[in-house]
A and B are shown apart, each in its own frame.
Chain A
Amino acid sequence: MKRNHLCLKTTGLLLAVLAVLALVSFPLLSQQALDRTKIPPAGKAPVFHVPTWTKATLTNGAELMVSEKHDLPLVSFSITILGGASQFEPPDRRGLAGITASMMSEGTKSRDGEALSNAMQMLGTSVGISIGSESGVLSFVSTTGKFGATLDILADMLLNSTFPAEALERLRAQRLVALTQAKAQPSSIAGRVFPKVLYGTSHPMGQMVTEESYKAITRDDIVALYRTYFQPGRALIMVTGDVNPAGARAAVEKALAAWPAGGSKPAFSYPALPAPRPATIYIVDKPGAAQSTFAIGNPGPPRNTPDYFALQVMNTMLGGLFQSRLNANIREEKGYSYGVSSSFAFGRGPGAFRTGGDIQSAKTDAALIEFMKELRGIAGSRPVTDEELTTAKDALIQRLPNTFGSVAGLNGAIATLWMQGLPDNYYQQFEKAIAAITREDVVRVAKQYIDLGHLAIVIVGDRATIEGPLKATGIAPIVVLDIEGNPQTGQ
């Protein structure tokens, strides 16, 4: 990188750009009528209307929302269940929710698994069922003409699944193979060890799926979870696309007439977090690895924190964009990585702040120094420029219309409000809330939510290459973990 280009990132970008252009571009002007040095100005901002939706409550207590979008003959349908594996899985049965969801494609009272699959293939669509950490979803996208028939199949899976025992054994065996493979994959290893280090094994967010937990799951566990979990009292049914509210409601009432009332929204009461430990580097050895996979962070605030908008602006500046501080430095300027980023896993519980990426092994220590420098920087040691603040806000505000661009995107955007307990006018208020954030807010939330003294620094890489240099940085003491995230014995 040329030095004058680097300057642009830390000073007012546009002013510096104009200064550079003034120096280099005049010779061209004499030959060309077009002045290419002028950045074409933006046109008048397009008018964007946030989509609207109707709300109703079905007789069984499920909520129904419908939002129309008629530009293409497509419909997106979803039933979102509030609460997920973190609320409904026993600690010694991690993986149960995922297997239960898969078992619902294995057969119903009137159709076996192949018949279900054939029926969906003929309609050209497929029903997806999954249960995540804090919510579950049954969903599909279909053409308008196939909406009713696909909905009938989804209802059959939701209401009449039979959970054949032999299917459980097959799914279990497949998952055990996938788990073995995941343990050879550096980013999967980091994805398993990082939450365990952050939350500990007595917190649902720190519990991992293991061979033992998969092997412990019984058909009775599955049936019990299914009965407890899939209840309309905690469900949102969302229909978006080429439908009208009355027609959608009639179709849903008819298809789900046999879904009995019951269930309530979970409280999302998580156990207390473990006492924060002083910042520590946790090395997971991956002999011969060409790169070191970094996951640095700490537990974060829930989605309903009043600091949400300030955190979004702060994170966008730190590691949310290509030209954010972390990537501009560690990828573009230093060339240590193909890309680094940062994020907050906002939800009902204390989702993690996490930054990291894959770093060339020989640059592991140098990269960690830069990560720490940028984390200190955003917390005040490197002032936030006007340019950075404006870019972060513009990026967040002006990407909003894209959220609603597809029927599935529209569905998800509205369902998210319901899942996170946000107001209906959230998207209308979004611009104002982001615009109000000041640079003082940015520094304050960086200090408050990125705990530099207590960071967990997980690095999956070639211990023989990286341990000495990491130690020499003096950033934090080193603990070596095995790929399960347990302290390695005999180190």
Chain B
Amino acid sequence: MLTIVPRIARLALLALVCCAAVQKPPADGSGAGSDAIRIPFENYTLPNGLTVILSVDRTTPTVTVNAWYHVGSKNEAQGRTGFAHLFEHIMFTGSGHVPYGLHDKLTEGIGGSNNGTTSNDRTTYFESVPSNYLESALWLESDRMGFLLDKLDLAKLNAQRDIVKNERRQGVDNQPYGRVSEILSHATYPPGHPYSWDVIGSMEDLSAASEDDVKNFFRLYYAPNNAFLAIAGDFDPAQAKAWVAKYFGDIPRGKPVTRPSVAPVVLASGQRLVYEDRVQVPRLYVQWPTVGEKNDDQYALSVLGAILSGPRTARLTKALVYDQQAAASVSAYQGSNEDVGEFLLMITPRPDHSLTELEAAADAIIDKLKSEGPTADEIRKALAGEELSFLRGLESNLGKAMQLCDGAGFHGDPGHFRTDYQKSQAVTAEDVKRVANKYLTSGRIVLSVVPAGKLDQASKPAESKKVIIEKTPRPEVQP
């Protein structure tokens, strides 16, 4: 069970002692070059509960402000799916003292940029601007944190509802294979589970969202005690602190937020589904429920993904794409949310090779890995690129601000990136073998996406249940 209150309290204490602390190279000497895994930062908490994280980098005269709220689609009520993301759009429609349009004017209109993103677990808003516009960026963010409802009306809600529906059409309904994600989520998690619906939500639920929904959601989740504010780039920390206090200090603390209780999912048995789509090439998806950000098995599961697919020497890629030449492409990876995760395998066949054949071929490769475990070389190769990836992430203020907020929000430590790196580098062949056996079991969803009218192209068609999507895109399984 996760509740936010203890973590926030712990953060507040932590902030007092580690203000001005700069991340130091590790004393444990873990691996050559690991002293490059460093983001200088300091953090503190305002009396209203807002966590502030500052990271100075004067390389380029630009600065990024990232406002991160610990709310996502998993906080939605049933019948209101898609609401967290719809709300994200509302946040760009103006607030108490910022008329619509000014936000864009003070970001992209001066050579900067802005955007917002919503996940299952969090919603984040950012502005990247020339460094002399930091104060106005903070003013913009503080105004919508403190005064969004002053200017809210039904017309604004309806306009954004239409745009979000267009976003769904573009990203889901009009995309080949576009419905796969929501079919898999629905099949993997039991009804009512906070991860059983997708972030984009359903058309019906988007239509149902009311003005009161917006107000209640804002009051509960967009209070400073549920928010993290990172500033990264070219700025003077003392000046930034003064501005943060000035613009955010008087926004009142909200009620404590109760997190949904998220039960881990284990599928007692497998489920086979087939979905007819407007595609010309069938595809096989296999999804296993695994673990999320808070469980250290995620590190070995990520390495498992890198050993199975990606470079031509990866086991599934080598076997299916190169040696057997039965697949045009294959991918396998661990996706980690805050509380849960999934390991997803996807295979696109070459003509004259059936999904049934490819499923069996993939299973044979995975079974071999489960019994033998990976080689030391495979582990080394999977981990060798991490330092470079980390360093390249440091080239962007936004990349840094996001890492710091994710660490603070999900783990109570803006410096969690270092723990993350160390745990990842510490993964052994034995770990990978263990997680492969623990999670890649018969408790999985096998989904075949086939061209309309070609149900026989499914993997084991006779055993596969047809997914019917009525007008509502909430997938229903019919026997």
Contact = CB atoms under 8 A, between A and B. Distances in A.
Interface of A: 1-2, 5, 8-9, 13, 17, 20-21, 25, 28, 32, 34, 36-37, 39-48, 71-74, 113-114, 117-118, 120-126, 141-143, 145-146, 170, 173-174, 176-178, 180-181, 183-186, 288-291, 321-323, 328, 331-332, 335-338, 358, 360, 391, 394-402, 404-407
A74 B101 contact: no
Contacts of B169: 290-291, 338, 358, 360
Contacts of B396: 405-406
Nearest to A337: B166
Nearest to A20: B99
Contact of A74 (B132, B170, B392): B392
Contacts of A17: 99, 102
- A34, A40, A114, A406 pick with most chain B CB within 10 angstroms: A40
B62 A401 contact: yes
23 contacts: A1-B155, A5-B94, A21-B97, A21-B99, A28-B96, A36-B143, A41-B135, A44-B132, A114-B312, A118-B313, A121-B385, A123-B384, A170-B322, A177-B350, A181-B348, A185-B175, A321-B104, A323-B105, A338-B166, A360-B169, A399-B112, A404-B60, A405-B396
Contacts of A323: 101, 104-105, 108-109
A9 B105 CA distance: 10
Contacts of B386: 124
Q: Counting chain B CB atoms within 10 Å of each CB, which of A2, A71, A183, A400 scores highest?
A: A2
B280 A405 contact: no
A26 to B, nearest CB: 11
B179 to A, nearest CB: 11
A391 to B, nearest CB: 4
B189 interface: no
Given A124-B385, A398-B111, A13 B96 contact: no
Contacts of A360: 165-166, 169
A405 B111 contact: no
Given A46-B234, A289-B174, A394-B111, A181 B61 contact: no
Contacts of B132: 42-46
A42 B136 contact: yes
A239 to B, nearest CB: 17
B394 interface: yes
Contacts of B104: 321-323
Contacts of A120: 311
Nearest to A358: B170
Contacts of A74: 388, 391-392, 395
A443 B112 CA distance: 26
B387 A143 contact: yes
Q: Tell me the interface secondary structure of chain A in the complex.
A: mixed
B247 A391 contact: no
A394 B147 CA distance: 28
By CB atoms of chain A within 10 A, which of B99, B171, B312, B380 has the most? B99
B130 A174 contact: no
Q: Which 6 A-B pairs have the closest CB atoms?
A: A398-B111, A335-B162, A46-B61, A43-B132, A177-B328, A399-B111
B319 interface: no
Contact of B108 (A1, A141, A395): A395
Interface of B: 33, 36, 57, 59-62, 94, 96-97, 99-102, 104-106, 108-112, 128, 130-136, 138-139, 143, 147, 153, 155-156, 159, 162-163, 165-167, 169-171, 173-176, 234, 246-247, 250, 278-281, 311-313, 318, 321-322, 325, 328-329, 348-351, 380-381, 384-388, 391-392, 394-396
Nearest to A70: B59
A314 B246 CA distance: 39
A2 B174 contact: no
Query: Which of B96, B108, B128, B143 lies at the interface centre, i.e. has the most chain A CB atoms within 10 A of its CB?
Result: B108
Contacts of B321: 170, 174
B392 A406 contact: yes
Given A46-B130, A181-B279, A395-B109, A122 B328 contact: no
B173 A290 contact: yes
A2 B159 CA distance: 10
A25 B97 contact: yes
A143 B391 contact: yes
A36 B243 CA distance: 12
A484 B250 CA distance: 61
Nearest to A186: B174
B168 to A, nearest CB: 9
Nearest to B101: A8
Contacts of A185: 175-176
Nearest to A34: B246
Contacts of A141: 388, 392
Given A2-B153, A40-B139, A184-B176, A71 B59 contact: yes
Residue with the greatest number of chain B CB neighbours at <10 A, chosen from A126, A180, A290? A290
Given A5-B99, A43-B135, A184 B111 contact: no
B176 A394 contact: no
B163 A36 contact: no
Given A122-B381, A398-B130, A358 B350 contact: no
B170 A291 contact: yes
Contacts of B278: 184, 288
Contacts of B138: 40
Given A39-B106, A46-B234, A181-B280, A1 B156 contact: yes
Given A118-B313, A291-B166, A181 B176 contact: yes
A113 B313 CA distance: 9
Contacts of A173: 325, 328, 350-351
A13 B171 CA distance: 33
Contacts of A2: 100, 153, 155-156
Nearest to B164: A338
B160 to A, nearest CB: 8
Nearest to B172: A290
A67 to B, nearest CB: 14
Given A142-B388, A180-B281, A290-B174, A1 B109 contact: no
A316 to B, nearest CB: 10
Contacts of B279: 181, 184
Contacts of A170: 321-322, 325
Contacts of B173: 290-291
Nearest to A44: B132
Nearest to B165: A360
B100 A39 contact: no
A405 B400 CA distance: 13
Most A Cβ at <10 Å: residue of B96, B105, B176, B387:
B105
Given A170-B325, A291-B169, A402 B109 contact: no
Contacts of B329: 174, 177
Nearest to B115: A322
Contacts of B171: 338
A5 B101 contact: yes
Contacts of A401: 60-62, 130
A321 B100 contact: no
Given A321-B109, A406-B392, A121 B61 contact: no
B105 A13 contact: yes
Contacts of A400: 111
Given A40-B139, A74-B391, A180-B280, A117 B131 contact: no
B139 A143 contact: no
Contact of B250 (A32, A46, A336, A407): A32
A466 to B, nearest CB: 13
Contact of A117 (B111, B167, B311): B311
B387 A124 contact: yes
A73 B312 contact: no
A114 B60 CA distance: 40
A72 B234 CA distance: 16
Nearest to B236: A43
Contacts of A25: 96-97
Contacts of B106: 39
B357 to A, nearest CB: 15
Given A40-B136, A173-B350, A184-B279, A34 B384 contact: no
